[in-house]
Structure 1
Amino acid sequence: MKILSPRVLRALERFNATYPWDHNAHYHRWILRQLPRRFPRALDVGSGSGDLARLLAGRAASVQAVDSDPAISAQARKLTPDALPVTFTVADAIAEFPVGPYDAITCVATIHHLPFTEALTRFRRHLAPRGTLIVVGLCRAQTPVDYLLGVIAMPANAATGWLKNKGRPSPRPVSMTARTRSADMTFDDIVREARNVLPGARLRRRLFWRYTLVWRRP
């Protein structure tokens, strides 16, 4: 479904590249609000440069951060003070899943790179009793609600980027040729599969082309 003309979309892309901001980090504080003030162990799957792992270290006695990219994991180690209880590991999140149990497992903008049902099954298996799983993911737009949220997000995205950059163009604009892998599953697919694996999971569509999943193990 085409909402805007290619010309308008290109103009928005140029604006967003000039005033970039991190859509995933936007949800980090929300993630923390879903978790207890203190807990023993956390696992962050797809940890990237370690921003969320460092925030989790303010709550957890130890944080295991896993990413398949050696370069970004090396960067994460450099950015992380030695005093923080965070361990960064380069590993495949499925084939080399770190053995739990964990009191919190987080996965932000990563699960669409993994076999969805298998990933959720592993998360469930390694989550401690009364532990919390939180996923912030991407889905493929399909329904009118999806497209409506996309339309609403466009001006909100531009305004947020302008405000976060204080109206100043970024000295290093984001390349418009860079693209992450697109999500294959629709939100309805995700809800159906997730609730088969995680009965009672709470899922919501969110702004900025994201959805959230929260599940607490009994």
Structure 2
Amino acid sequence: MKAVIYARVSSTTDRQNTERQIADLTKYAEYKEMEILKVFEEKVSGAKKNSERPIFVEAINFCKAQKVDMLLVSELSRLGRNAFEVLETVKQLVDEGINLYMQKEQFTLLNEEGKPSMFAPVMIATLSTCAQLERDNIKFRLNSGRQLYIEKGGKLGRKEGSTKSKEEKAEEYKQVIKELKRGTSIRKTAKLCDVSVSTVQRVKAEFNL
């Protein structure tokens, strides 16, 4: 059985990493005697649209092209926190006959006959809606806290002079820019330049590469 691991964290800094997700899912794959064809890692908010998550899109397309049997994720929210986006992704997987394993929920999308289990649609819809509500609640609390901070005289934003100019960024990431202009993929550029995938994504977007 062929499998792919997709691991994601929301923070683009080194505060979070995907190591634990990958390690746990690898153990599961080995236990189930699955062949892991590829591991996809991404640092991007789950609130982003699929089109704004290039590694995720690459992972789904890889699964389709390689006729992968199983996509492994640590939990359903790794597919996103927008309920409609998650359901759209799940539908793509079902249409392609690709199973989905969610470690946290201990749940697989398809049964032994390759069809969604009886409770799969309800469970997926419920879990994805809960994930979106959780994100909305966090966003509300953060905005409320910022507003209170401002009302008390606080100021938001970076300190003056702490933001790098575009010219400074161009110099710092000149090798990244060079590779992207050559048409090198995001993941390969990250490895060649010894930077994170999220850094390459930011440079690509900022310099319209």
TM-score w.r.t. the length of structure 2 is 0.30
Task: Report 1 or 2 for greater relative contact order, CA contacts < 8 Å, sequence distance ≥ 6.
Answer: 1
**Greater fraction strand:** 1
Greater C-alpha Rg: 2
TM-score w.r.t. the length of structure 1 is 0.29
**Greater fraction helix:** 2
